[in-house]
Amino acid sequence: MRDPGRPDHGEDHDLHDDYVTGDGGVTPDLLDLRPRPARTLASLFERRPGLNPTEAVRAFIEAVGLQERYGHLRVVDDLIGLQRRVGDTIERYTDKLTSAEARSGSTESAKFGIGHFGGQRAVVYVVDWAFFAGSLGEVAGEKFVQAAELAEREKLPLVSMGASSGVRQHENVLGLIQMQRMAAAANKFQHTTNRPYVSVLAGQVWGGMSASAVPAADLIVALEGTDYGFAGRRVIETFEGKEVPRGLQSAEANYLDRNVDVLVKDVDELVELLTRLFAAGRSTSRIRDRRRADDRGTEGTGREIAVGPEGFSAALWDRQVVERRVHLPRDRRDRGRATAGETLLARYNEIAAGAGRLDTEFLLRTVFDSAVPFYNHVRFDEDTIYPHVVAALATIGDHSFMVVGDQPSYRISGDYVGKRPPNPGPEDYEYAVRMMDAAERWELPVVFLTDTLGALPTMAAERRGQSRAIAQCIKRAASHPYPTVAVITGAMGSGGGLATTPFGRHTVMFDSALGFVSEPRSTATILYNVANPSVEQVAMTLETMKASADDLRAQGLVDTVLEDGDHPRATALALRAAVVEGYNEQHGLSPRRLRQKADDRLRPRTLGKLSSGD
C-alpha cells in the first residue's frame, strides 16, 4: 500500500518526464519539497482490502459443520408485485429470485441450524451475500425467528453471522417488518435464557440487518475487512452533498468508535473465540481455590510488554504476533519519602505516568486461569493504543467472571515506554454497560479493575452525553444482581472512576492507589484559588483529602488493602485470593440482599452526630 503521506509522482503531469526520471539532474526526492501531511490512525483502514463475504460465510459453515434446518423455505410468488422494465420485457420478483438461485446455488439468503464449537453446540444463523446481496425478506426473517426459538428450546448459544445489503426492496413493508420480528425474537431469547447471543459481521452489513439483529446481540464481533453501517456511502454522499472519507464505515473505524466490540483476523480466530466463550465454566458453587501465593513464584521485579507489527491486533492473545518484548521494572516511586505529603504526591505522579504499574491486561493474564478478551489493541507508529475501558470473560477454576477495567495505552520507542492514562468517554461507559448487561444475562459475577484519573474532559464528550453515560454505568454496576468485586488498582478519580467501582459489597485496593473526588491538582487549584498550585499545595491537598488506601479502609469503604510489591506475579496472586474471598462472601445472597447489604453499609455514619448537634 502506498504511503498516503507521500505524493504519487505518476499524477504530476505538469512535471517534465526527464526531471521525474532524474535525467535532467533533479531526482524526485529533490523535487518533493512540499510539506507532507502527517499520517493518521485512519491510514490503517482507509485503503485496507475488503473481505469476500461469501467465502467467509462458506468457510464458517464448513468449520462449524452446520446442520441446516428448514432449508426448503422459499418465496413462491411476487408478494407485492414490484416490477421493472428491462428493454422490451418486464422483470418480476420471481424472475429475480430465479436468477439469484442460478448464480448462488441457494434458494434464499439465510440458513440456520446447529453448529459445533469444539464440544459445544450452538444455533447458527448465516446470511450469504451471494444470494440477492444478502437482503432480508420474509424467509430470512422467519428463519432468524425460528433460529432464536430453537436456541431458546434447546438452551443453546445463538450466533448470527454474515453480510447483508438490507431489507429487500421487492418485499417493501413485508420485508421491513422483519427488522421488528428479528429484534423481538432476539429480545425474547435474551429474556428467557442465560446463553450468549453473538452477532458476527462478515463483509458488508447495511440497513435492516445493521439496525435489528446485530445491535441486539450481547457481543458484536467483526471480521477485519468488513464494512458496517445503516446508510451506505452513496446514500450519505447524496444527502450531505460531499464525499465520505474512505474507510469511515469500516469495521476497524466502527471498532474505534465502539460500535463493534471486538475484531477477529479470520474465520479460524472467530471459531476459536466462540469456542472458548461457549466452553467457559458455569459453576455457581463457592470457589475452593488451591493456588497459593508461591505457585508461580516471584520471578523478576517487573513485567514485560509485547510489541507487535503495525495494525490491529488479533483478539486472542495466543494469536497475536510479537516482534519483541520490553521489560518494565516495578519501581515504587513513593518509598523513602520524608513526609506523608511527599509520599502521596510521588504516588499520584506514578499513577499518572508510571508505565511499570500493573494494568488490566496484565491482571487478566495473571490473576485468572484463562480469559477471552472482548477488545483489541492497535499498533501505530510508536503507539500501542487500547480502548480506555476493556472487558473479558475470565475464569478461576470452573467459575467464570466478567472483568471490566480501565486500560492505559503506551508509547514504546526502543526500550523507553511512556504511559497514556485512560480517560473514558461516553462510548467507553456505554461499552462497560453492555458488558455488564451481558454478565447479568449470562448470570456471572463481575470484577471491576479501576485506574483512571477521571472521565474524558472535552466538550466533544460533553455533547455526546458524558454525564448520562457515567450515570448509567454507576447505576448498572451498583445494581448488578450477582456478586461484584471492585478493585482499585491505581486512581479512582471522580465520577468517571466511580462508574466502574461499585462500593459496598467487597472492595479491594492496592496500597499504591488513591481515591479522590476530583483530580488533586484541580482540587488544589480550587482550594487555593490559583491557576498553577505549588508542589507543596498539591501535596498538602493529597494528604488532607484522605485519599490513600488506608484512609478509605478507615472510612469503611475498602475491605482489603493489598501490597503492590516488587514482584507483580505475587501481587496478582494476592489479588486472586482477594477476588475469591469477595466472591465467596457474597455467594448465595439474593439480588435484593446484595443491594440491601451495600445500601446499609454506605449509609452516612455522621447522621446521628449531625442530628444531635442541631
Question: Could you read off the pLDDT of 97-124 as tens digits, one per residue?
Answer: 888 888 888 888 999 999 999 999 999 9
Instruction: List, as one string, the DSSP characters of 24-86.
Output: TS--HHHH--SPPPPP-GGGGTTTPPPP-HHHHHHHHHHHHT-EESSTT----S-TT--EEEE
Phi, psi of 393 (to 5 degrees): -90, 115
pLDDT value for 56 = 96
How far is it, in rounded angstroms, from Cα 176 to Cα 136?
A: 8
pLDDT of 3 over the 50 cut: no
- What's the Cα-to-Cα distance from 59 to each of 211, 221, 391, rounded to whole Å? 25, 16, 28
Least confident of 78-87, 176-185, 275-284, 384-393: 78-87
pLDDT of 294 over the 60 cut: no
Instruction: Share the mean pLDDT of the chain.
Output: 89
pLDDT of 15 over the 50 cut: no
Neighbours of 90 (CB within 10 A): 10
Q: What is the mean pLDDT of residues 528-550?
A: 90
Confidence of residue 37 (pLDDT cuts 50, 70, 90): low
pLDDT of 351 over the 50 cut: yes
Each as own residue / partner, the long-range contacts of residues 323-327 (CB below 8 Å, 24 or more positions apart, any chain) are 326/412, 326/415, 326/417, 327/300, 327/302, 327/303, 327/415
pLDDT of 12 over the 50 cut: no
Tell me which amino acid residue 6 is: R
pLDDT value for 295 = 54
Q: What is the mean pLDDT of residues 9-20?
A: 43
- Helical axes 568-586 vs 360-367, angle rounded to 10°: 70
More confident position, 481 or 10 = 481
Confidence of residue 22 (pLDDT cuts 50, 70, 90): very low
Confidence of residue 34 (pLDDT cuts 50, 70, 90): low
Check: CB of residue 158 under 8 Å from CB of residue 192: no
Confidence of residue 1 (pLDDT cuts 50, 70, 90): very low
pLDDT value for 290 = 74
pLDDT value for 27 = 53
pLDDT value for 330 = 87
What percentage of residues in the chain have a pLDDT greater than 90? 71
- What's the Cα-to-Cα distance from 141 to each of 45, 182, 245, 335, rounded to whole Å? 32, 6, 33, 63
pLDDT of 504 over the 50 cut: yes
pLDDT of 48 over the 50 cut: yes
pLDDT value for 392 = 98
pLDDT value for 333 = 84
List of domains in the chain: 9-38 (no CATH), 53-279 (3.90.226.10), 302-599 (3.90.226.10)
